[in-house]
Amino acid sequence: MPPTIGVFDSGFGGLTVLRSLIERLPRARFAFLGDTARLPYGSKSRRTIARYAAQSARFLVHEQGADFLVIACNTASALALDAIKEAVPVPVLGVIEPGAAAARAASRTGDVLVIATEATVHSQAYTAACSAHGLRALEKACPLLVPLVEEGWIDHPVTEEVIDIYLNELRSQAAGAGMNPDTLVLGCTHYPLLRPFIERSVRPGVNVIDSAEATAQAAVALLNGRANEGGSAAFTKTEIHCFATDSVDKFERLGSRFLGRPVGPVQLIDLGG
């Protein structure tokens, strides 16, 4: 039996991680849960996020039979990874460590910029993970980017302007700190949809790291043996089951933009609260 891979996000931004996983594991079963009733996690406290994330993880493991969990949400990875690991008896992979490892592989100067939500930045999880890899990181919260993506202004001039404002501020801060950054980590699963504008805004030669891709690669490495077995066994194609705690319509409507294919029917579930 190939493993069932549980993928969790506060919303549907984590579908960018699911998309990268599917590209690398086309013959597997995926259960994706978006805790849309309680999003955004990005502006909430560690305690609240840990409680919500643990409930969601238990649903994927106990109700959906996930035997591997990918936390496709930077905020939950930053603030609740330990709480999730305590809540469920299966391996759990977050997006922060793979993002930091990919930055380490890409950077030559050792100075890295990170853009993310308010709560992720406040947690300094990327700074800690980068530091463990010998990198110096400077983080900046960009709270307008998620709403701009969800408004559908992915190629709108206002979005380009907002990205330029945020990245200019970040570059000024880096220069003020005597840093010479050559790598920018997209520390939010919504940001890959803005990659064209972000790449246009960074200086030539700066690496843009998508933590969704980095995480999918790390998951495949961990799952490798079991996934190969499974690929030749039960599943001959990708099986995707999507769940949300609210706003199924919005999930179905916007989700395909993140997943790169129709998300199919999304099942509404109640985690209480």
Residues 143-162 that bind a copy of itself (CB under 8 A): 143-144, 146-148, 150-151, 153, 158, 161-162
What six digits make up the tokens of 88?
Answer: 């469920």
Provide CB contacts within 8 A for 129, sequence distance 6+. 96, 97, 99, 100
Residues 187-226 that bind a copy of itself (CB under 8 A): none
Please state the closest distance from residue 161 (CB atom) to a copy of itself, in A.
Answer: 6
Please state the closest distance from residue 147 (CB atom) to a copy of itself, in A.
Answer: 4
Handedness of CA 170, 175, 179, 183 (dihedral sign): positive
Label residues 62-90 b or e (16+ Cβ within 10 Å = b).
eebebbbbbbbbbbbbbbbbebbbebbeb
> For a copy of itself, which residue of 19, 29, 44, 171 counts as binding (CB under 8 A)?
44
CB atoms within 10 A of CB 158: 11
Closer of 152 and 260 to a copy of itself (Cβ): 152
* 45 in contact with a copy of itself (CB under 8 A): yes
Closer of 107 and 159 to a copy of itself (Cβ): 159
Answer yes or no: 130 catalytic.
Answer: no
Please state the closest distance from residue 89 (CB atom) to a copy of itself, in A.
Answer: 25
* 247 in contact with a copy of itself (CB under 8 A): yes
Q: What is the per-residue binding string for a copy of itself in 2-41, x denoting contact by CB under 8 A? A: ----------------------------------xxxxx-
Closest CA to 52 of 87, 24, 6: 87
Please state the closest distance from residue 270 (CB atom) to a copy of itself, in A.
Answer: 9
Please state the closest distance from residue 238 (CB atom) to a copy of itself, in A.
Answer: 29
Q: Report which DSSP code applies to 156.
A: -
CB atoms within 10 A of CB 209: 25
Answer yes or no: 242 catalytic.
Answer: no
Q: Report which DSSP code applies to 64.
A: T
Among 89-97, 103-111, 142-150, 186-194, the segment contacting a copy of itself (CB under 8 A): 142-150
**Residues 73, 130, 142, 242: which is the catalytic one?**
73
- Report the SS3 class of residue 24: helix
Q: How far is CA 43 from CA 12, 115, 116, 126, 133, in A?
A: 16, 15, 12, 17, 28
Closest CA to 34 of 60, 16, 8: 8
- Report the SS3 class of residue 251: helix
**Residues 130, 142, 188, 242: which is the catalytic one?**
188
Closer of 264 and 273 to a copy of itself (Cβ): 273
Please state the closest distance from residue 268 (CB atom) to a copy of itself, in A.
Answer: 9
Q: Which residues bind a copy of itself (CB under 8 A)?
A: 36-40, 43-45, 48, 143-144, 146-148, 150-151, 153, 158, 161-162, 165, 246-247, 250, 272-273
Residues with catalytic annotation?
73, 188
